Structure 1
Amino acid sequence: MSLDMGPALLFCPADRPERFDGALRKADAVILDLEDAVLPAAKAQARENIVGADLDPARVIVRVNAPETADFELDLEAVGRTPFHTVMVAKSEDPAAFDSFASGYALIALCETARGVHRAGDIAAHERTVGMMWGAEDLVASLGGMSSRFPDGRYRDVARTARAQVLLAAGAYGRTAVDAVHLDIDDVDGLAAEAADAVASGFGATACIHPKQVPVIRDAYRPDEELLSWARAVLAAAEGERGVFRHEGRMIDEPVLRHARAVLSRG
C-alpha cells in the first residue's frame, strides 16, 4: 500500500481548530498535529478538536504522539472516535507498536530518531504502513548533536544518510516516501531546491509547516510541458518496440519507461 494524497502535506496544530479548514483548502492534505506543535496542557482539548473536526477524511492525516508516551493511548482513543484513518506515528522505532491500530488504519511512520532510522526497513514492512517520513532535528537530538544543517543551509551527512535510508526502506516495500519539512519559511529557494531533489530522488510528497510553502512544493512535483511531451513520446514509441530501443539518440529500457510513467502520473 502507498499514500496518494498529493505532494504538499501541511502541518496544522490540533489546538488551533480555527485553522483546520483553511489549511485543508490551501494544501493537498492537512496533518492535524497532536505531538510537538501542542503544549502538554493543551493536548486534551486538541484531541477533542480533532473529534469535532468536519473535514474530508480522504485528505486528513493525524499525527499522534510517540508510542512509548502516555499520550499515545489517549490519542488512539480520540482518533477512534473520528472518521480519520490515516495516522502519522511520531518517533516510530518499533513496528510492533503499529499492532495497536485496528485493521483499516493506514500508517505513516515518522522515523526521526537513530533507532527509528536504523529500523526503517522493519517498519516499512509492516502491513499497515503506507508511508515513510523522516525528520532531521529530532534525529540529530537523539544522537546528542546540535544541528542537522551547516550554516549555509545544507544538510549534514548524518541527515542526508537518514533521508536516503528512509527513502530506500519505503521503496523496498512500495510505500510512499515523504520528505521532511523545511523549517526556514522564508527560504523559498532552499525549499524549491530540496523539493526538486525529492522528486528526482523518488519521494512522493513533501511535508511543510506554512501555507506559503505549498505552491513551491507543488511546482517542484509538477512536471513541465517539455517533460510531459518527452514521457508521452517515449511511451508511444515503446508500443512498437520489443526490449531495449533507441529514441531520439537515447537508449530506452524499462527503468526509463518507469520514469516516463511516473512523470505522467505526476502530471
Structure 2
Amino acid sequence: MSIFTMGPAILFCPADRPDRYTKAMERADAVILDLEDAVAPENKQAARQALVANPLDPERTIVRVNPVSTPDFAKDLTTLQQTKYRTIMLAKTETLDQLAAVADFKVVALCETALGILNAQQIAAAGNVVALMWGAEDLVASLGGSSSRKASGTYRDISRHARSHVLLASGAYSKVAIDSVYIDIADHAGLLGESVDAQASGFGAKASIHPGQMPIIRQAFTPDTEEVARAHRLLEAAKNASGVFTFEGQMADEPLLRHARAILERSARTGA
C-alpha cells in the first residue's frame, strides 16, 4: 500500500496561475494544483497547458481533477499522462466506480457531498486511496444549505459530523485524513485553534487557500520543545514500569505511550 507523506501544510494553487506555482511550493509542504473549482470554465484548457509547461516536484504535488461525471475529467487525465504527477485529488469522490476510473493514480479522495461522506468508509478501503479530505462548503451546498459555520465561526453540527466521519473512516484503514480549508484568511487565531484541534484529533495535514496560512498550520502540527521533552521522559520512565504506572502525577498506560510516540514521530517529520 502506498503511503501519503505530504503535509502538514498543504496549499491550493489555481492551475491557470503558473506565476504562483513556485511561490506556492516555496511556502507549503505540498501544493495542490487545482483544475477544478479555482479555475473558471473558460480557463480550463489554459490551466491544463500551464500544468504541462510548468512542472513542479511530483513528490510534493497533488493535482485536483474535475469530478468523474464531468466532461473535463477525461481531458484532465489526458493532460496528466503528459506529466510526472501521479498523486491526484479526486473532486467529489462518492463511489468505488469513480475510484476505479483513476486506478493508475494515488488518490486523495475529496469527500464533499452527502453521498461521499456516507460512503467514506468504503472509499477509505480502496487500494488506490492514500488519503481522504473532507470539504465543508461543498458538502453544505450539496444539502441545500448556505453555510458550514455559525456566526461565531464554529462548525454547524452537520459539518462536525462529516469531519469526524471522514477522520474515523481514514483511521480505520490507516489512511491519512486531511482537514478542510479555513476560509477566513485574516483570522489567524481561528485558524491556529482549528489546526491545533485537527492535529490533536488525528488529522495528518490541513489544506489551505493562502500562503500566509502555511506557518500557522505548520506551528499547530509541530510539537514544541516541552512536548518533545515530556514524551522522552514518559517513554524512558515506561522502561522501568510494568503495566499502568504514575508519571508526573498522571496515570500512564499504553494509550499515553502511543501518544508520546506519535509526538516524537511528528517531531522527526517536521524537524522540530
When normalised by structure 1's length, the TM-score is 0.97
Return 18-27 or 248-257, whichever deviates more. 248-257
Structure-2 change in CA distance of 1:213 and 1:41 (3 Å): same
Higher deviation after alignment, 178-187 or 78-87: 78-87
Aligned-partner Cα distance in 1 for 2:164–2:183: 19
* Cα drift, residue 233 of structure 1: 1.0
Does the CA contact (< 8 Å) of 2:7 and 2:206 recur in 1? Answer: no
Higher mean alpha-carbon deviation, 93-102 vs 125-134, is at 93-102
Deviation at 1:250, TM superposition (A): 2.0
Pairing 1:110-259 to 2, within 5 Å after superposition: 110-259=110-259
Structure 1 equivalent of residue 270 of structure 2 = none
Identity of aligned residues (%): 54
Q: CA deviation at 1:244?
A: 2.7
From the superposition, tell whether residues 23 and 241 of structure 1 become closer, same or farther in structure 2 (CA, over 3 Å): same
The 10-residue stretch of structure 1 (235-244 or 1-10) with the greater mean CA deviation from structure 2: 235-244
TM superposition shift of 1:245: 2.6
Give secondary structure in 2 for the equivalent of 1:192. Answer: helix
1:80-109 deviation line (CA, Å, top 9, x unaligned): 221111111111101221112244x21101
User: Match of 2:51?
Assistant: 50
Aligned mates of 1:96, 1:232 — CA distance in 2: 46
Query: 1:34·1:46 contact (CA, 8 Å) conserved in 2?
Result: yes
Aligned to 1:265: 265
Q: Distance in 2 between matches of 1:19 and 1:242?
A: 55
Shift in Å at residue 253 of structure 1? 1.8
* Mapped partners of 2:103, 2:111: distance in 1: 21
Tell me by how many angstroms 1:138 deviates: 0.6
Q: Which amino acid aligns with 1:100?
A: A
Q: Which moved more, 1:213-222 or 1:251-260?
A: 251-260
Secondary structure class of the residue paired with 2:177 = strand
Gapped regions of structure 1 (runs ≥ 5): none
Query: Aligned AA for 2:194?
Result: E
The whole-number CA distance in structure 2 between the counterparts of 1:81 and 1:132 is 25
Contact kept in structure 1, 2:90 and 2:108, CA below 8 Å:
yes
CA contact (8 A) 1:2 1:174 kept: no
Q: Distance in 2 between matches of 1:137 and 1:86?
A: 23
Report the Cα offset of residue 72 of structure 1. 1.0
CA–CA separation in structure 2 for the residues paired with 1:236 and 1:66? 50
Q: How does 1:17-32 map to 2 (within 5 A)?
A: 17-32=18-33
* Deviation at residue 238 of structure 1 after TM alignment: 2.1
CA RMSD of aligned residues (A): 1.1
